[in-house]
Amino acid sequence: MNIKSNEKKENSAIELVIEVSAAEFDAAINKVYNKQKKNIMVPGFRKGKVPRKMVEKMYGEQVFFEDAVEEAYPAAYDAALKEAGIVPVAYPKLEIVEVSKDGFTFKALVTVQPEASVKEYKGLVVAKPEVKVTAADVKAEMKPYIDRASRLVSVDRKAKKGDVAVIDFEGFKDGVAFEGGKGENYSLELGSGSFVPGFEEQVIGMKAGEEKDLDITFPENYTADLAGAAVVFKVKVNEVKERQEPTLDDEFAKDVSEFDTLDEFKKDLKEKLKARRQEQAERDYEAAVIDALLDNLVCDVPEAMVDYRADKMVEEQAMRMQQNGLNFQDYLKYMGLSMDDVRAQAKTAADRTVRTALALDAVAKAEGIEVTQEELDAEVKRLAEQFHVTEDQVRELTNPDDMKQDLASKKALELVKSSAKKPAKKKEEAQAESAEAQTEE
C-alpha cells in the first residue's frame, strides 16, 4: 500500500489517493480464486480443481478483479489511515480510479472531526427547575393504590366518567368487520383513554341493555390499515359498575403498603415522588445547559458526520429490539413508519448528539481537562459492577481512548453546569414568591 496523495478538502474532509501494489493485489486475487474455485466447472477438470491461470485464460485476466478489489481495499484503507494519522468520523466515500494486473488505485474521501470552539461556556444563564410536591400530587400518587383497594359495584343508572362499562363491541369499515375490532364482555374504564379517541365519550350516558352505533375516525398516526379511517362500532352495554373507594385511614395504609399509618405512607410517597422529580429536573436542567452551550458553538458540522451517527442510532435501536425478541420491520409496519421516517427522526437526534460532543470537546481542550489512569480504572470498575462482568471483560469490550474522551466530556459538562447562573428574577416574581412563602408559614 502506498499513499499517492493526501489533500485537504472542504467540509472537514481529506482525500487520500491510495495505491495497492501488484503483489498485494495478486494475493487478494488468489484469496478470491480459492474461495470461488469449488464452484468453477471447466470440461476436462474436476470441479474445484481448475487452475487459476486456466480460468483467467478462458474468461480474461480481469475475471477476479472486482471481487479482489473488494477483498483488498479495506486493509489498504485502514493501513493508509494509520500511516496518515487520520481518525475518521463517518463512512468514507470510495472511488476506484484504475485497476490492472499491476494493482489498483482508489480515492477515499474521509470526513474528520471539524475544528470547533465555544464563544462562551462559563456563566451561562440557565433557569433551574424548582421541585415542588403538593398534597394534590401525593393524592394522585395514591390513586393506583386506591383503585386496587376499590370495589366495583353494579349500578342501575347511566354510565359516567370513572365508571367501568362491561361491553360487547364490533367495528365495521365500509360495512365489513375488521380484524381486531371485536370484543365481548370487555371491561372498559370510561375516561381512561385506553380506546380510540371518541369511543369512551360516546359510551358515557348509556345504560345496561342499551345498544348504540358509534361513529369513529381513527387518528392519522394509527396502524397503516386503519389510519384516518371512518368506522362504525356497534356497542352493547351489558353492565355499568361504579368504583367504591376505601376509607383512607391507617387500615388502608396497612393493606396497601409496608407502613402502619396513613401519614407514614403519605410521607413515603411524597419523598419518592420528590426524588423522581428532582432527577427529572436535573435532566431538564442539563438539557437546558447544553442548549445554551450549543448556542455558543462555532463549528461547521459535516453532514456526513451526522448521517453516520444517525445510521448508528438506527442500528442500535434495531439491535435492542432484536435482543428483546422483536422484529424491527414488524415494529415499523405496526407504527406505520418507513425506514426514511426513522432515519429522519434519528438524524434530528444525531445532529444534537454530534454538536454536543463537539462543544464539550472544545471546552475540555480550552480548559486543559485531562483524565487520569485512576479515573479510567474507576470507570472500568463502575461499568463492571453495573453490567455484572469482570474488569478485564470491560477492557476487552471498550476502547480506552473513547472512554477517556467520554470522561473528559463529562468533566467539561460538570464545569459548564457548575458555573451556570440563574436568570435574575423580576420584581413581581420575587414579591409573589415572598408572599407564597409567608402563606406557607
The percent of residues in the chain predicted with pLDDT above 70, rounded, is 96
Q: At what angle do helices 339-367 and 400-419 cross, to 10 degrees?
A: 70
The rounded mean pLDDT for the chain is 94
Query: Could you give the dihedral angle defined by the CA atoms of residues 335, 336, 339 and 340, in that order, rounded to the nearest 10 degrees?
Result: -120
Residue 7: is its pLDDT beyond 50? Answer: yes
Would you report the helix, strand and coil content of the chain in percent, each value rounded to 5?
50, 20, 30
Phi, psi of 42 (to 5 degrees): -135, 130
Position 223 scores a pLDDT of 80
As given in the structure block, the three cell numbers for residue 178 are: 375488521
Nearest CA-CA partner of 179 in 140, 229, 131, 142: 229
Residue 58 to residue 81: CA distance in whole angstroms: 38
Mean pLDDT of 340-350: 95
pLDDT range class, residue 441, cuts 50, 70, 90 = very low
Q: Which amino acid is at 63?
A: V
pTM for the structure as a whole:
0.76
As a whole number, mean pLDDT of residues 16-31 equals 98
Report, in angstroms and rounded to the nearest whole number, the Rg of the chain calculated over CA atoms: 33
Segment 162-168 mean pLDDT: 96
How large is the average pLDDT for residues 88-94? 97
Which residue type, as a one-letter code, is found at position 415? L
Long-range contacts of 65-68 (CB under 8 A, 24+ apart): 65/29, 65/99, 65/104, 67/32, 67/36, 68/25, 68/28, 68/29, 68/31, 68/32
**Cell match 470491560: residue?**
394
Mean pLDDT computed over 43-59 = 90
Amino acid at 372: T
Ordered DSSP codes for 47-99: TT---HHHHHHHH-GGGGHHHHHHHHHHHHHHHHHHHHT--BSSPPEEEEEEE
Residue range 44-60: mean pLDDT, rounded = 90
pLDDT, residue 436, reads 57
Q: Where residue 440 falls among pLDDT bands split at 50, 70, 90? A: very low
C-alpha cell at 164: 367501568
Task: Report CA torsion sign: 54, 60, 64, 68.
Answer: positive
More confident residue, 410 or 335: 410
pLDDT single digits (tens) 107-148 = 999 999 999 999 999 999 999 999 999 999 999 999 999 989
Residue 47: the pLDDT is 84
What pLDDT score does 431 carry? Answer: 59
Question: Which pLDDT value is given to residue 279?
Answer: 97
pLDDT-derived band at 13 (thresholds 50, 70, 90) equals very high
pLDDT digits (tens, 9 = 90+) for 180-231: 899 999 999 999 999 999 999 999 999 999 999 999 999 988 887 888 999 9
Indicate if the pLDDT at residue 438 is higher than 90: no
Give the DSSP letter of residue 175. Answer: T
For residue 209, the one-letter residue type is G
Instruction: Find the distance separating the first CA and the last CA of the chain, reported in whole Å.
Output: 79
For residues 409 and 424, give the distance between their C-alpha atoms in angstroms, rounded to a whole number.
29
- 360-419: pLDDT as tens digits: 999 999 999 999 999 999 999 999 999 999 999 999 999 999 999 999 999 999 999 999
Domains of the chain, start order: 2-112 (3.30.70.1050), 151-244 (3.10.50.40), 271-419 (1.10.3120.10)
pLDDT in tens, 260-312: 999 999 999 999 999 999 999 999 999 999 999 999 999 999 999 999 999 99
Instruction: Please give the pLDDT value at position 383.
Output: 95
Alpha helices (runs of H) in 337-426, residue ranges in sequence order: 339-367, 373-387, 391-397, 400-419
Q: How many beta carbons lie within 10 A of that of residue 28, not counting itself?
A: 24
